[in-house]
Every structure is written in structure tokens, then in C-alpha cells.
Amino acid sequence: MTVLIDADGCPVVDITVKTANQAGIECVIICDTSHIFEKPGIKTVIVSKGNDSVDFALVNMAQKGDIVVTQDYGLAAMCLARGAVCVNQNGMIYSDGNIDSLLMQRYTSKKIRMSGGRTKGPAKRTQEQDKAFEQTLKELISG
């Protein structure tokens, strides 16, 4: 088992690294050249800046049983197809039961924005969200 982090715009990199280290699980940070992370003892894969370059690198690394930390529904869908377990920054586990509706929600929001409309952005991150994420990650690691 490896924990793979989609680090571009990820607010829980430090929590993920700490939790993986405590459990003795390999952790890999994947980012592009505009978000470089250097964490002691953690492998960082840096890819060229480009549309979905991090996503494609990560999905190619993901294997059955790995844990993927991402807030990207499209990436989560691809990793689920490879047998990985995917979790977002708030502790929500992506599954075959919820990924279709999440992708549809993303598509609908994009259509609204493309037609000149506005959609609500995310609320300010809270400590409760961090705690929920950490708890879920610990549960996923312990199986």
C-alpha cells in the first residue's frame, strides 16, 4: 500500500505525510513545477506544468489497494477504476456509488460557468475538516 497525494492545491499534504509516516506506509507527493514540495523522507514526483499532467502521472502510478488523496473527481474516477481507494481533503471516500453524481455535479457547474454564470466557491477550511480527513485516512490505512 502506498499513499499518493495529488498535491496541486491540496490543503492536507502535511496531515497525510504525518499520518503515513506514523503508520510506516510509503507516501508519494505528485505535483507540477508550480507547486514544489520537499518533505524529509518522502518521495516527491515533479511533473511538467500542463493540463492534467499531475493527474495522468498519478493515475499511472496508482495500483490496487493504494490510497489516493485528491479533490479532483475525474482523477478519483480513474483511480477507482485501477482499484485504488480515493479520499478527498474532507475525509469523504469516493466510491462507485457516489462518483457518477459528483462528476455530474462538476459538469453542471462547468456549464453554468461557461455560460457566464457563477458558482459558489469553497468555504474557509476548518479544523473539523482536518480532523475528519485525518480520522478517515487512519481508518483506511488500518483497513
pLDDT tens, N- to C-terminus, the chain (143 residues)? 999 999 988 999 999 999 999 999 999 999 998 887 888 889 999 999 888 899 999 999 999 999 999 999 999 999 999 999 999 999 999 998 888 778 778 667 777 777 888 777 777 899 999 999 999 999 999 98
The pLDDT assigned to 99 comes to 84
Those residues whose C-beta lies under 8 Å from the C-beta of residue 29, and which sit 6 or more positions away, are 5, 7, 13, 17, 37, 39, 42, 43, 44, 45
- Cell 520537499 -> residue: 38
Strands (E), 14-131: 26-32, 43-47, 67-69, 85-87, 93-94
